Amino acid sequence: MATIDKDWDGNAQNASPDGEFVRDTTYIEDRIVSDVPAQSAPVPQEDGTFHWPVEPGRYRLMAARACPWAHRAVITRRLLGLENVMSQGLAGPTHDWRSWVFDLDPDEKDPATGLHRLREAYLNRFPDYPRGITVPAIVEVESAKVVTNHFPSIPVDMQIQWKNYHRDHAPDLYPEHLRSRIDELASWLFKEVNNGVYRCGFAGSQDAYEAAYHRLWSALDWLEEHLSTHRFLAGEHITLADVYLYPTLVRFDPVYVGHFKCSRNRIAQMPNLFGYLQELFQTPGFGDTTDFQEIKEHYYYTHGEINPTRVVPLGPDMSGLVEPHGREHLPGSPFAPGVTPPGPLPAGEEVKHPEAFQK
């Protein structure tokens, strides 16, 4: 019989009889939508979820620099310029089974909600909440109750439902003519790459690990070939597909190669994937939301079953990410004509360890 445990990312995980890591993908699937009047109570749906109104200032994106699933929401919010309508709280990189802690803030409390642990927001709404306490999560500021932690829909709804509040000249990260392709890529990336590294890292048997390893590298080899003739994953400009891949790629060399035993080679040794990663890292919204120190502290400290000493490595040197990427010969550009990159980070949202990529 499968056993259920929780890793310290807060995600319930199932260990199958053959040792394969199986992620629990059950989330709070409420959504924030534009067709519910502002200042309304959440509207119940036939499937048991609720629809909440789009309303500036009502919600706070709870994230962590360390978490790849949260990172995609952080990037999307920044690219679209939603900082003035949806605030952001950031938990620290290390925690125990009781969930993410706002220990980067004064008095170890999120200044907008007063939460010490993200768990409190879940229990405020669901006193007997039985599942993992995950980021990203959107919390209603006034009540300090969780609204949703359904990470696949949060970036999509930021693009579609919050469109009236995007900054001037913001990108369309989910253009209608590419949505089916982006959705296809999102599903494939989740199964083969985003979660593929976790299948390697949390494999409970040699056979499960080797199967996961070969499956992951098959996907990365496909991406390397695809990116030899395509500047981005879908179309000629950055879309949500690229937002979904970036957090895994940027964590690969400092964490997944060693910590998760994804050790065939580094991304830096794959010219197309690395050039693509360089270009994204150098695009506002990507590199300026990446904190390598917090990323390494999270994985190497919280995964005690993999790294019981909790020693955090000093390498590798990631400064190659700021060198020329050489992808200008491919059709396309990061943003379509008339679209501009986001401006400087809002005060207080700068990464705390900007120099960490050189360690």
Which residues are known to be catalytic?
67, 198
Token pair in block for residue 202: 């949390």
- 69 and 135 Cβ atoms separated by less than 8 Å: yes
**Distance between CA atoms of residues 323 and 329, nearest Å:** 16
Residue type, 317: D
Q: Which residues contact 114 (CB under 8 A, 6 or more apart)?
A: 144
**Distance between CA atoms of residues 66 and 354, nearest Å:** 14
Side-chain-side CA neighbours of 347 within 13 Å: the count stands at: 0
**Distance between CA atoms of residues 164 and 233, nearest Å:** 26
- 31 and 147 Cβ atoms separated by less than 8 Å: no
Side-chain-side CA neighbours of 164 within 13 Å: the count stands at: 7
Q: Is 326 exposed, middle or buried (0-12, 13-18, 19+ CB in 10 A)?
A: exposed
Per-residue DSSP letters for 170-190?
---SS-GGGHHHHHHHHHHHI
> For residues 189, 192, 198 and 204, what is the CA-based torsion angle, rounded to 10 degrees?
160
**Distance between CA atoms of residues 101 and 320, nearest Å:** 32
At residue 50, φ and ψ (nearest 5 deg) are: -125, 150
Residue 97 among known ligand-binding residues: no
> What does DSSP say about strands 137-140 and 59-64: parallel, antiparallel, or unpaired?
antiparallel
Look at residue 285 and give its three-state secondary structure: coil
Binding residues for glutathione: 100
- Binding residues, as ranges, are 100
